[in-house]
Structure formats: structure tokens, C-alpha cells
Amino acid sequence: MPGTSDSSIGPTAHLQALRRHFHSGATRPYAARRGALKALKRAIQRHGEALLAAMHADMRKPRFEAYMADIGLVHAEIDHALASLRDWMRPEGVPTPLALWPANSSIHPRPLGVVLIIAPWNYPVALALAPLVGAIAAGNCAVVKPSEDAPHTAAVLENIIAEAFCREHVAVVQGAGAEVVPPMLGDFRFDHVFFTGSPAVGRRVLAMAAPQLVPVTLELGGKSPAIVDRSANVDLAAKRIAWSKFFNAGQTCIATDHALVHADVLDAFIAAMAKHTTAFFGEDPQRSPHFARLVNDKHFQRVARYLAEGRALFGGQVDAGERYIAPTLLTDVPLNGKVMHEEVFGPVLPVVPWKEPEEVLAVVARNPTPLALYVFSRNRTVQRRFTEHIAFGGGCINHCLLHFGNPQLPFSGVGTSGMGRYHGKRSFEVFSHLQGMVSASRLLPDPGVQYPPYSTGKEKVMRWVMG
């Protein structure tokens, strides 16, 4: 039966209880996994209003955005897993080479054991529970570490998990990550660690997991550009880029970090950005109920410093008391400035003009690998040129953000923007060991070629079979 989470969970008795529960086999049957996913969905539904209120308390997140990108996304992941779980669990038959006959080969997904999920603050529900859906579907026990920077949401998540799962199946650990994660990773060997957050913290998590050879999935960030070609529908591009940039006040790992706009359409793009931003949030976005706030003073001060690195064509207003920074379009930014080298993660959009595609490639190459790429162009040759010559995790043509919402698509970084992938079946696979098995026949006699003593004739047969 569901129990209470343990905010003081550490590398002691409770973690060992999770291990014992996993070894009991209770989490492995199809019915158990399906029942756990349904229980999680019911608990989220019961606490839905509390989650919306908590996210608003943590960062003034608008209800619509909180449901769409946090709660609704988790519902979609659960529904997809429930519809697909039996197929995911089924062994997959694969061809067997002639050299191994008579036998058949198959791949069996096995649960890993006890996994650790470390979530960030910007989408505190989705980025804690979407990986958990995969871990539960795969038959694991789990520890979830919500972000201490979204404390109201973290408290509701603890209640949801306590209601949905017994404490030996899924546990919650609360507190500052720097204080609670190192002891756990130092004294208890998790079977997988799933971390979403900044590259700097991701490196530390990877280093902490390395001594015990714990595999790690890292979903990090990076400077994700939107490239606007002169063939694009500029008005539509500006509308969609403004939406992606100012959604959650820019605190989105796959938000448009900066816009690289062809010089021929720069003026039209700037005018369209101003028009659509006003349509979204009014003449005074600070009064809009549809615009979030920076999560804490540290992040507010970091983003506010970027305003001095360019010229604000619109926006630029700040209010430290509310941790408010207006939706801002910044031009005349130096390519060697911090705003063009650090992930902005706020409602400030640097805009850089270009004339030749090589200029775009050079700007992107100055920074670590982007997590996302958005190309706005009617020209398929232009689309292919940028998507084939830039390494990036995932993205969209003529839109932004949408790829994250499709559970059929793998979501991942590449290079410095992350390692490993999840969503849908990939979440199931990241928390599974895909075990290869060969089942040899007991009814047909062995051909005998592989057994000593060897001979020239056996070698000829072996070479013919193996090529």
C-alpha cells in the first residue's frame, strides 16, 4: 500500500529497503507496472490544483503553461506508456547467423534495479515525473530528488509520490542537491542516475557516479539558436520564436537562446517580434498574468547583467523585488560577450544578423553543442544545410519547442548538451538492460564444426559459413 516518503532518506536502511523490494520481484509483473502507472496518474489528478498553485508560488508560472508543459506532458507520457507497455516488455526476436544454428536469438528488456532521478526547478513536475514514468514502466524502484529551488512544488510532488507508491517502491529525498546527493552516490550504488540540469552540475554528478561505475543519463542545456532565413515567413517565425523565448520567462532548456536573422529581413523580424510580444503580454508585461518570473535572486541578477551587453529595442525593464525582467530583444551584441557564450535562460533574446550561411555556422561553432536547433526557411536546401552541418540534440523546422512534446520522438542532447535519450519507449529503454539471449536447440544434433580437434576440413566449413 502507498506510504509516506522520507525526506531524510540517505545511504542507509531505506535505500537498502528499496533494493530488497526490487529483489522481491514485486515491481516486475506487467500488472504491477500498469497498476503503478495508473496510481501515479490518479494521484497527479487529485493534486492537480495544488501543483498549479505551487508552481505559481515558486515562479509565478501561468496556469496554462504549468498544465501544458508540466502536468499535461506527464499525463501524455503515462497514457503512452500504458498503451504501449505490453509491447515494450515483450522479447524481440532477431535473426540468428548461420554460424550459430540451430538456435534462435532474442532481446529481453530487464529492469535495472534502484535508480536515482534528479530534477531541476524550471519544469519541476514534468522533469521529475516523466523520467519516473519510464523507470516504473521498466520495473524499477526509484528515488526522486526534486529541486530545492521550487520548494512548494517539491512538497506537492512528495505528497503525490507518497500517495501513489509504497515507500519501498519510490522514495523522495528533499534538500539542497549539493548536500543530499553526494552521500547517496558515495555510499550506495544506484543502478542508474538520471539528471536534468546545467552542464556544470552534470559534470559533478557524472564524477560522483564514476567511482562505482554507475551509468548516467544527462539532459543538459546549451545555446540553442533559431536561424531565420530570408525565405522564411518572417511574421510567423517571429511569433513562434517569441512564444518559445518568453514561455516560462525563458527558463526552458530548449528555448530559443538567440536568433540569427538574415540581414535582408532583420527589420521586419524586429517589428514582428515587438508586435507579437505585445499581443501576448500587453503594453506592460509586468501586469500580465501570462508572464512568469525568474525563479530566484541569483538567476534574476545573472540574466539582468546581460542587458548591459547590447541595445534593447523593446523591453529591458527590471524589478528586483518581483524578480521581473521584461521580454527583451537585444541587438548590437558582441559575439565575445557573455550573452553570446552563456546560456541565457531568461526572457532576453539577442539578435544577430547574417548574410552568408558560413557566418551562421561560425557563430554556432563558437559555443558548446546546442540542445536544440530551429530553422525557419521555405527553402529545403537551406533547411538541410543547417540541420546537416550543425550538431544538435533535436529541433524543429519552422517552429520551436514542439519536438519535446511528442513521446514518439527521442529527446536528448549531444556532446556537451547531454548524453542518453528518453521519452516514450526510449524512457523505458534507458531504465532497462536490453539483454541479448541465444537459445540453442536441444533436439537437433550439433554440426560439430566448432569442437576440437580442429581440422583443415572444419576450417574450410567455418570460413564458408562466416564469410
Residues that are catalytic: 219, 253
How far apart are the C-alpha atoms of 238 and 313, rounded to whole Å? 14
- Which residues, other chains included, contact 417 with Cβ-Cβ below 8 Å and sequence gap of 6+? 199, 220, 221, 222, 368, 369, 370, 371, 392, 393
DSSP 369: P
Instruction: Write the CB contacts of 70 (distance below 8 Å, at least 6 apart in sequence).
Output: 51, 55, 123, 124, 125, 126
Q: Under a CB-based contact definition with an 8 Å cutoff, are residues 160 and 132 in contact?
A: no
Please tell me the chain's helix, strand, coil percentages from 3-state DSSP, rounded to the nearest 5: 45, 20, 35
**In whole angstroms, how far apart are CA 266 and each of 124, 205, 256, 262, 355?**
36, 41, 17, 6, 11
Query: Edge-to-edge strand order for the sheet containing 372-376?
Result: 311-314, 328-331, 348-354, 258-262, 225-228, 372-376, 394-397
The Cβ of residue 85 has, within 10 Å, a number of other Cβ atoms equal to: 19
- Residues with Cβ within 8 Å of residue 282, at least 6 apart in sequence: 288
Secondary structure letter of residue 370 according to DSSP = P
C-alpha distances (whole Å) from 440 to each of 107, 190, 363, 466 are 15, 34, 56, 18
Rounded to an integer, what distance in angstroms lies between the CA atom of residue 450 and that of residue 446? 9
443 Cβ contact partners less than 8 Å away, ≥ 6 residues apart:
none
Q: Strands 141-145 and 324-325: what pairing?
A: unpaired
Q: According to DSSP H, which parts of 27-115 are helical?
A: 30-46, 48-59, 63-66, 72-89
